């Protein structure tokens, strides 16, 4: 994956300000995993393995789903399904990143993007993350 440049305006983003510290850290980890079009496979097991490869024993799929739900609620990502597989797209990617690759590694969202299917019960609950 290519390197990403973050602008200083990220520190004053009202959308990022809505997030818990854990969801904000997850957002930054997603940025470096997305392809040049701001898209990524959104299966929780894939997100967990790519964003937290050294924490697989402590980071669960349920926590990933909860963090993703926070990003969705803050309108930082959108999710969609193509051929039965879930994907995510960063909502303001083209405003903040230079798109170098001609084609995305992941399918584009449909033009008439329907609402994402409901998240599993673990992700939609209001459980607070436990920190040590």
Mean pLDDT within 111-129: 54
Query: What pLDDT was estimated at residue 114?
Result: 61
> Which residues make beta-bridge pairs with 82?
85
Kind of pairing, strands 39-41 and 77-82?
A: unpaired
Q: Which residue has the higher pLDDT, 47 or 37?
A: 47
The average confidence (pLDDT) of the chain is 82
> 101 and 37 in contact (C-beta within 8 Å)?
yes
Mean pLDDT within 26-31: 95
> 129 and 63 in contact (C-beta within 8 Å)?
yes
Q: Where are the beta strands (DSSP E) in 61-120?
A: 77-82, 85-90
Residue 65 has pLDDT above 90, yes or no: yes
Query: What pLDDT was estimated at residue 84?
Result: 93
| pTM, entire model | 0.74
Query: What pLDDT was estimated at residue 3?
Result: 74
Mean pLDDT within 104-117: 70
């Amino acid at each position: 994956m290519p390197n990403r440049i973050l602008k200083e305006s990220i520190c004053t983003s009202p959308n990022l300000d809505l997030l818990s510290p854990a969801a904000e850290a997850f957002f930054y980890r997603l940025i470096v995993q997305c392809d040049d079009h701001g898209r990524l496979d959104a299966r929780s097991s894939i997100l967990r393995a790519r964003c937290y490869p050294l924490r697989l024993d402590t980071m669960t799929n349920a926590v990933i789903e909860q963090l993703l739900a926070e990003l969705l609620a803050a309108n930082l990502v959108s999710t969609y399904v193509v051929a039965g597989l879930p994907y995510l797209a960063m909502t303001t990617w083209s405003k903040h990143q230079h798109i170098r690759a001609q084609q995305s590694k992941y399918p584009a969202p449909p033009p008439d993007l329907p609402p994402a299917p409901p998240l599993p019960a673990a992700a939609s609950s209001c459980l607070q993350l436990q920190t040590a």
